[in-house]
Amino acid sequence: MDPNLPSLPPGFTSRNARLEDVEMAAQLGIEYSLATTGFSDVDPESLRNEWQVPGFDPALDVYFVYSPDGSPAGFTEAWAERVPPVHPFIWGMVAPGFQNLGIGSHLLAWGEQRARRVLDLVPADVRVSYYAGFPIEDRAARALLEDNAWTRIRSNYTMRIDMDAPPPEPELPAGLSLRTFRTEDAEAVFRAVDESFRDHFGHVDQPFASAFERFRHTMLEDPLFDGGLWFLATQGSEIAGVALCRRRAPDDPECGYVSSLGVRRPWRKRGVGLALLRRAFGEFYGRDFRKVSLGVDAQNITGALRLYEKAGMHVIRQFELYEKEIRPGRELRVQTIE
């Protein structure tokens, strides 16, 4: 145990993870989520895929704490796989029954310590800050972060539509059409998503090679990937917008899920986003799903929240995002639309 970290209770131990620990981590995540919010958004196979994303190594970036009887008491992950890693993300949880013992403070300190390695990977004049988040119901996480000089910066929502009838047919502007994904579309879809999200808070431009490799792993190799649920709005050979969906939501096997919805600037404010959503809703309805959900930045600066409300979606959950500055400097993330 690192002597620079806050002490654990007597008899508690710690170690870094191995890939085979993913099932244990998933079970802890499920128990934590159910105890905190009443639902769970943890899937073991999806978590395994995440732990194998390029640039992330569970043997270095995941850390467990164990009780004296050997049962896991909590774990944390330190994510800094993006290039440049200006906003490393720390995620952790304490297992039910082990709260108020100082384990959360120990895990948070480990995550901060591990994530500080990014300072050697980012130009000296660039601002670097940790990110962390938690479900709004987790008051202990809020207290822990605020007691350690973290500051709330915004919220994310999970929104859902409940369908008791087929959704309206999509209506596209003249000259555009809708189709599903083909394998040869991978790079063009990635570029369309990347361009669409350059106007979203927190976006940081990434080198193509590493960003595309991560996209392929997290999206195309996702255990819940289905190319028949990836919808492209096209004009000739150009992709105007995309709705990339998974077979089900992380927190509900009876709910469809839109992982990413993006419309490139030249085609915005013409109904393309709404048409893509309705196409996705219709496909899920045809597959006997009566609910579809997605995640969105609550302060989204592109108008996405209004679009989802117009499409009939409503907020069902809230996730709080906090940050802590490691080093001041020039901010690379998108703040507002130019």
Task: Check: CB of residue 53 under 8 Å from CB of residue 46.
Answer: no
Among 261, 279, 272, which residue's Cα sits nearest to residue 192? 261
Percent over 70 (pLDDT), the chain: 99
Is 250 domain-assigned? Answer: yes
Mean pLDDT of 122-131: 97
DSSP alpha helix (H) spans, 162-303: 186-196, 208-215, 272-286
Q: Which structure tokens are listed for 242? A: 């995309």
Same domain flag for 187 and 45: no
Domain-embedded: residue 6 = no
Nearest to 148 by CA among 94, 109, 91, 99: 109
pLDDT at 104 over 90: yes
Find where tokens 């709330």 sit: 152
pLDDT greater than 70 at residue 337? no
Q: What is the tens place of the pLDDT at every residue in 211-253? A: 999 999 999 999 999 999 999 999 999 999 999 999 999 999 9
Strand partners of residue 152? 322
The answer to whether residue 113 scores a pLDDT higher than 90 is yes
Write down the pLDDT at residue 2: 74
Q: What is the pLDDT of residue 301?
A: 73
Task: Choose the weakest-confidence range: 15-19, 122-126, 265-269, 331-335.
Answer: 331-335
Residue 80: closest CA among 52, 56, 107, 108: 56
5 in a structural domain: no
Residue 31 CA to residue 318 CA, distance in Å, equals 19
219 belongs to a structural domain = yes
Closest CA to 178 of 260, 303, 259, 278: 278
Q: Could you tell me if 234 and 124 lie in one domain?
A: no
Q: Calculate the CA dihedral of residues 79, 81, 87, 92 and round it to 10 degrees.
A: -10
- Report the DSSP beta bridge partners of residue 297: 156
Whether residue 182 is found in the same domain as residue 271:
yes
pLDDT above 90 as % of the chain: 93
Q: Terminal CA-to-CA distance of the chain, rounded, Å?
A: 47
- Give, as one character, the DSSP assignment of residue 118: G
C-alpha 146/C-alpha 211 separation (Å) is 32
- Could you give the angle at the alpha carbon of 126 between the alpha carbons of 125 and 130, nearest 5°? 140
pLDDT in tens, 15-74: 999 999 999 999 999 999 999 999 999 989 999 999 999 999 999 999 999 999 999 999
Sheet (strand 314-327) strand order = 13-16, 62-66, 72-79, 89-94, 128-135, 314-327, 151-162, 291-297, 256-263, 238-246, 225-235, 177-180
Q: Does one domain contain both 168 and 305?
A: yes
Residues 145 and 176 in one domain: no
Q: Residue 242's domain spans which residues?
A: 159-317
Q: Does 334 fall in a domain?
A: no
| 115 shares its domain with 259 | no
Residue 323 lies inside a defined structural domain of this protein: no
Note the pTM of the prediction, 2 decimals: 0.94
In a domain, 326, yes or no: no
Residues 170 and 144 in one domain: no
- Count up the domains in the chain and report the number: 2
User: Domain holding 60: CATH number?
Assistant: 3.40.630.30
Name the pLDDT band for 336 (thresholds 50, 70, 90): low
d(CA 127, CA 204): 12
Q: Are residues 121 and 32 in the same domain?
A: yes
- Residue 85 · residue 110 · CB < 8 Å: no
pLDDT digits (tens, 9 = 90+) for 141-153: 999 999 999 999 9
Domain membership flag for residue 1: no
- Which of 85, 119, 149 represents a domain boundary (last residue)? 149
